[in-house]
A and B are shown apart, each in its own frame.
Chain A
Amino acid sequence: MRNIITVKDMCLWYGEHQALKNVNIEIPEKSITAFIGPSGCGKSTFLKSLNRMNDLIPGVKITGELRYEGADIYAKGVDVNNLRKEIGMVFQKPNPFPMSVYDNVAYGPRTHGISNKLQLDEIVEKALRDAAIWDELKDRLKKNALGLSGGQQQRLCIARALAVQPRILLMDEPTSALDPISTSRIEELVMELKEEYTIVMVTHNMQQAVRVSDYTAFFLLGELVEFGKTDDIFSQPKDKRTEDYITGRFG
């Protein structure tokens, strides 16, 4: 399988504090990769460097090499906005804009210059269908998105991210704020989405990583301890620390 993201010797500092140490990873295309590890291990930070959302935090310094489709993500002259269009993101807490369902999904395409109503309608419908929420919301497109349930909001956010036709979807603990039923619906959705998209998700929940992901990366104290097929990581971890973590000895 082809690798869509390759990272070599990447380090990241918040001011004086080093949050990531020499991370090396290759993420395969059209698969689901899960990042696991205890809180503060750097997995979210790493996720956010992949579409440069860390740029927004003052004092962040990054060294090493991060490549998307062979091109350096942090090279001078990279259009961050186009990068983020290609590498979309879904956040921990559902964060729909305080606008209608339709406007939420249409926000991205509009930002990138699509103003034709018919074309927008089509994109919105496809995105909502892909996010498996079209049937629930097709009669409520003009309603304010803040009126939806938490699970619906999160699927709407996924639809919003899909509407700009990204190749990769970064998900930062997308189910941690949701109830078990909403969580399982999002998990099903994510497994369907890997037909078309590459998915990288941070999760606190090891069962979720086992259920959903093809590959798993275990982070600890800013280091990528182990990366490999999910089945291998959970059945025969190579590193003692990984074993300790997945058997529940700490974390």
Chain B
Amino acid sequence: MFLMMGLIAVGCVLLITVYLLISGVPAICEIGPINFLFGTKWASTAAEPKYGILPFVLTSIYGTAGAILLGVPIGFMSAVYLSKLASPRLKSVMQSAVSLLAGIPSVVYGLVGMLVLVPGIRKLFNVPDGASLFAAIIVLAIMILPSIIKMSVTALDAVPKEYEDASLALGARPIETYFRVSVPAAKSGIAAAVVLGVGRAIGEAMAVMMVAGNVPNMPDSLFQSVRFLTTAVSSEMAYSSGLQRQALFSIALVLFVFIMLINAVLNFLLKREKE
């Protein structure tokens, strides 16, 4: 009986994979993998529908890259400070704050983004609509911050004190020691934190849906309204049918493949960290 329960997780993964394949592959075949993956135009409801998802793929990649570019330095620097320099009190206060940040539902991020970020960007950069790739990048950067800080702090805390002592005894300053010895020693853990952040950013749907403008444009500029892979699925699902609906499942399949790749990298890094 316990074996059955243990196998439920495996069953779920199989079920998810199989269902996504069954419902995602037909549309890809019908549209043609090249047209589907590299088509630059998505017009699912036009008289002559076009199903190219390159805009979504690129938006997801750019959006994630942007969030990483913005979130990782802040998260990483905060983590080094909290792990090595902060007083125990500050550390525990900040850790609760970071947990809170992690626990806030994504729709709340979306709501605040809609009402603060979007108008702010419109005014600051003088663009017609603030709901844009840029707004999404900022929201995503904030949303990945807690995972990056938490995992990096854990990795940095685990660095044996002997390494730091050795470096100090050689005449290195404390901060030099943290960046040249502690950080390299924790690099697998920190890399895993970044990969986890990538996974979260690429999979986030609701917050992005509320701030990115949700128009299937190619992401040519930071201030363009765009649609991500995740939001492409959710924004049309409610009223889709036929090939359009199948194509949405294909998008989900593409997203799933991305996520599985990221998970594989993450698992590899975590395993190395353990050794």
**Bound together:** yes
Binding site for B on A (CB under 8 A): 51, 53, 56, 81-85, 88-89, 91, 93, 95-99, 107-108, 111-112, 157, 160-161, 164
Give the contacting residue for A95; candidates B162, B171, B172; CB below 8 A. B162
| Cβ contact within 8 Å between B170 and A161 | yes
Known: A81-B172, A107-B181, A157-B166. 13 other contacts (CB 8 A): A81-B171, A84-B169, A85-B171, A88-B170, A97-B184, A98-B163, A99-B184, A108-B170, A108-B171, A108-B172, A111-B167, A111-B170, A164-B171
Tell me the complex Cα distance, A84–B170, Å. Answer: 6
- B74: CB under 8 A from chain A? no
4 shortest interchain CB distances as A-B pairs: A85-B171, A95-B162, A89-B169, A108-B170
B181 x A97 contact (CB < 8 A)? yes
Whether A107 and B162, one on each chain, are in contact in the complex, defined by CB atoms closer than 8 angstroms, is no
**Does B271 belong to the interface (CB within 8 Å)?**
no
Residue of B nearest to A92 (CB): B162
User: Is residue B185 within 8 Å, beta carbon to beta carbon, of the partner chain?
Assistant: yes
Say whether B168 contacts A53, CB under 8 Å. yes
A97 and B163 form a contact (CB under 8 A):
yes
Q: State A53–B170 Cα separation when bound (angstroms).
A: 11
Which residues from B are CB-within-8-Å of A112?
171
Decide: A95 near B163, CB < 8 A? Known: A107-B180, A111-B180. yes
Question: By the criterion CB–CB under 8 Å, are B165 and A97 in contact?
Answer: no
Residues in B with CB closer than 8 Å to A51 are 169
* B11 at interface by CB-CB < 8 Å: no
Contact B167 A107, beta carbon cutoff 8 Å: yes
Pair B180/A91 contact, Cβ less than 8 Å: no
Inter-subunit contact B173/A81 (CB<8 Å):
yes
Distance from A155 Cβ to chain B, minimum over Cβ atoms (Å): 14
* B interface residues with partner A (beta carbon < 8 Å): 160, 162-163, 165-173, 176, 180-181, 184-185
26 A-B pairs in the complex with CB atoms less than 8 angstroms apart: A56-B168, A82-B171, A83-B171, A84-B168, A84-B171, A88-B169, A88-B170, A89-B166, A89-B169, A91-B162, A91-B165, A91-B169, A95-B160, A95-B162, A95-B163, A97-B185, A98-B163, A98-B185, A107-B172, A107-B181, A108-B171, A111-B167, A111-B176, A111-B180, A157-B166, A160-B170
Most buried by A among B162, B166, B171, B184: B171
Task: Decide yes or no: A85 and B166 within 8 Å by CB, A111-B176, A111-B180 being known contacts.
Answer: no
CB distance from A42 to the nearest CB of B (A): 19
Determine if A161 and B169 form an interchain contact, defined as CB atoms under 8 angstroms apart.
yes
Min CB gap A104→B, angstroms: 9
A97 to B176, CA, bound (A): 14
| Chain A nearest CB, measured from B117 CB (Å) | 41
Report which residue of A91, A98, A112 has the largest number of chain B beta carbons within 10 angstroms of its beta carbon: A98
* Bound Cα distance from A154 to B230, whole angstroms: 53
By a CB distance below 8 angstroms, the chain B residues around A84 are 168-171
Residue of chain A at shortest CB distance from B171: A85
* Chain B residues whose CB sits within 8 angstroms of the CB of A99 once the complex forms: 184
User: Do A93 and B171 have beta carbons less than 8 Å apart?
Assistant: no
Which residues does chain A contribute within 8 Å of B171, judged by CB atoms?
Answer: 81-85, 108, 111-112, 164
| Smallest Cβ-Cβ distance to A55: which chain B residue | B168
Once the chains bind, are B165 and A53 in contact (CB under 8 Å)? yes
Q: Complex: how many Å from CA A231 to CA B30?
A: 93
A91 touches B166 (CB 8 A): yes
Would A95 and B170 be within 8 Å (CB), given that A107-B180, A111-B180 are in contact?
no
CB within 8 Å for A164 and B170 given contacts A95-B160, A97-B185, A98-B184: yes
| Complex: A83 Cα to B171 Cα, angstroms | 7
Structural contact, A95 and B166, CB atoms closer than 8 A:
yes
User: How far is A50 from B152 in the complex, measured between Cα atoms in Å?
Assistant: 34
Cα(A56)–Cα(B181), bound, Å: 17
Contact of A97 among B167, B168, B169, B173 (CB under 8 A): B167
Q: How far is the CB of B167 from chain A (nearest CB, A)?
A: 7
- State the CA gap A97–B164 with chains docked (Å): 9
Cα(A111)–Cα(B173), bound, Å: 9
The distance in angstroms between the C-alpha atoms of A223 and B42, with both chains bound, is: 83
Given contacts A81-B173, A98-B184, A99-B184, contact A160 B168 (CB under 8 A): no
Which single residue of chain A is at the shortest CB-CB distance from B159? A98
B176 surroundings in chain A (CB, below 8 A) = 111
Verify B184–A95 contact, CB threshold 8 A.
no
* B173: chain A residues within 8 A (beta carbon): 81
Nearest chain A CB to B89's CB is how many angstroms away?
14
* CB of B161 to closest CB in A, whole Å: 9
What residues of B have a CB within 8 angstroms of the CB of A164 in the complex? Answer: 170-171
Residues of chain B within 8 A (CB-CB) of A81 are: 171-173
Residues of B within 8 A of A98 (CB): 163, 184-185
Minimum CB–CB distance for B272 against chain A, Å: 11
